[in-house]
Amino acid sequence: MDKKILNKFKAVLKKEQLKLTKQRHAVLANMIKSKGHRECDEIYDQLKSNGENVSRATVYRTVAILEKYGFLRKLELGDGRARYEYKLGLDHHDHMVCIECGQIIEFVNSEIELLQDKICIDMNFKLVRHIHQLFGVCEICQN
Amino acid sequence: MDKKILNKFKAVLKKEQLKLTKQRHAVLANMIKSKGHRECDEIYDQLKSNGENVSRATVYRTVAILEKYGFLRKLELGDGRARYEYKLGLDHHDHMVCIECGQIIEFVNSEIELLQDKICIDMNFKLVRHIHQLFGVCEICQN
DNA sequence: TTTAGTATTGAGAATTAATCTCAATAAAAT
DNA sequence: ATTTTATTGAGATTAATTCTCAATACTAAA
């Protein structure tokens, strides 16, 4: 794992009086390696098949820590399962979701981001995070 | 209940070979009356305490129909419970959610809507619905 | 490096929103 | 009024997630 990331993780853990365990390391490493929009069970299965010993409960717990400290972003796509994507140091984007095939497409629009910030300033709302998801039919599924 | 709305509901039901039952009427009437961002259990409890006989299962079933045909909008605020708001004939808005007190504030921004439409056109994505939620700390909770 | 102190883990139970089942019932069509 | 068809309700079921707690693994201090 990249040393900078690992050091940041160590720093966060120390600050919060948490310990760096094999399991936590494995979950973070796995998220960094296979970028995507991933369910906990998927992460769990993949670690298992790599022979790494991590329980489902620990995956859930770790992913929550990683989200809290900005390593991961949690996505709720409305199908009852949370997804996580690695985000540390990457540019912000939002998501389009195809309601036919489930494909997730990323989009970026800085104008929208600016307008969003402005709304929050105007309404004296301290923005922490946001969700902007477009649901519809992707190019492929339209044919 | 407003006659226009009722007639539209009747038309939808007929087209889908569904029947207009006391229960369906009660759920719709309740949603129209008490506008807000409502959980199914809340709707259920309120109907119960009004002496109206509707089961939890029927509330869930009815709310799904009403969403499908544009009477209601479903909100997923990331707390694992779906909310519904009455929307028929009302202007579109999105939501800010205070992560301290849970308050839901509505906001409107037509510029963002336009940009959003443009993105979809550019990417050849047929937009059906969208979610745009801002999570942060509201004015009151900042003090 | 050993020990003492504290946090973490895993297996399975518990929780919880939402959905499903199916016999009894109610609405619509004839 | 009768027949046909959809709906309802009670409770069982599902499925994602969280919880429990004894056994285990990390960390810091001696």
pLDDT digits (tens, 9 = 90+) for B23-47: 999 999 999 998 799 999 999 999 9
pLDDT at position A70: 94
Q: Which of A15, A134, A108, A123 is nearest to B109 (CA)?
A: A123
Q: Is B125 within 8 Å of A135 when comparing Cβ atoms? A: no
In the 95-134 segment of chain B, residues within 7 Å (Cβ) of strand C are: none
Choose from A81, A104, A119 for mutation: most chain B CBs within 10 A: A119
Give the nucleotide at minimum CA-to-C1' distance from A62: C8
> Residue B142 carries which DSSP code?
G
CA distance B114 to A141: 24
Nucleotides of strand C under 7 angstroms from a protein beta carbon: 6-12, 16-21, 26-29
Looking at chain B, the domain(s) classified CATH 3.30.1490.190 span 94-142
Band (pLDDT 50/70/90 cuts) for residue A61 is: very high
DSSP E strand stretches across B77-115? 82-86, 94-98, 104-107
Q: Does residue A35 have a pLDDT over 90?
A: no
The two beta strands, A126-137 and B38-39, are unpaired
pLDDT, position A80: 87
Helix (H, G, I), strand (E, B) or coil at B97: strand
Question: How high is the pLDDT of residue B79?
Answer: 87
Pick one of 1.10.10.10, 1.10.150.20, 3.90.1150.10, 3.40.50.1240 as the CATH number of B3-86: 1.10.10.10
Q: Each residue of B83-124: pLDDT tens digit? A: 999 999 899 999 999 998 889 999 999 999 999 999 999 999
pLDDT digits (tens, 9 = 90+) for A65-108: 999 999 999 998 888 899 999 999 899 999 999 998 889 999 99
- The answer to whether B134 contacts A112, with C-beta atoms less than 8 Å apart, is no
Give the pLDDT band (50/70/90) at residue A34: confident
Angle in degrees, CA B122, A100, A33, rounded to 5: 80
In this prediction, residue A53 carries a pLDDT of 87
What's the distance, Cα to Cα, between the start and end of chain A in Å?
A: 42
CATH 1.10.10.10 positions along chain A are 3-86
Measuring alpha carbon to C1', the residue closest to nucleotide D11 is: B57
pLDDT digits (tens, 9 = 90+) for A104-132: 999 999 999 999 999 999 999 999 999 99
Residue B138 has its nearest CB partner, among A125, A139, A142, at: A125
At B105 the three-state DSSP class reads strand
CA dist., res. B58 & res. B39, Å (int): 14
User: Please, which pLDDT band fits residue B80 given cuts at 50, 70 and 90?
Assistant: confident
Q: Rounded to an integer, what distance in angstroms lies between the CA atom of residue B68 and that of residue B48?
A: 25
Q: Express each pLDDT in B50-70 by its tens digit.
A: 999 899 999 999 999 999 999
Instruction: Categorise residue A64: left if φ over 0, alpha if ψ from -120 to 50, beta otherwise.
Output: alpha
Residue A133 backbone dihedrals phi, psi, to 5 degrees:
-125, 135
Q: Does domain A94-142 have CATH number 3.30.1490.190?
A: yes
Tell me which protein residue sits closest to nucleotide C10, measuring alpha carbon to C1': A55
Q: Under a CB-based contact definition with an 8 Å cutoff, are residues A130 and B130 in contact?
A: no
Contact (Cβ atoms closer than 8 angstroms) between residue B76 and residue B82: yes
Provide DSSP, chain A.
--HHHHHHHHHHHHHTT----HHHHHHHHHHHHS-S-EEHHHHHHHHHHTT----HHHHHHHHHHHHHTTSEEEEE-SSS-EEEEE-TTSPP-EEEEETTT--EEEE--HHHHHHHHHHHHHTT-EEEEEEEEEEEE-TGGG-
Chain B contact for A41, CB < 8 A?
Answer: no
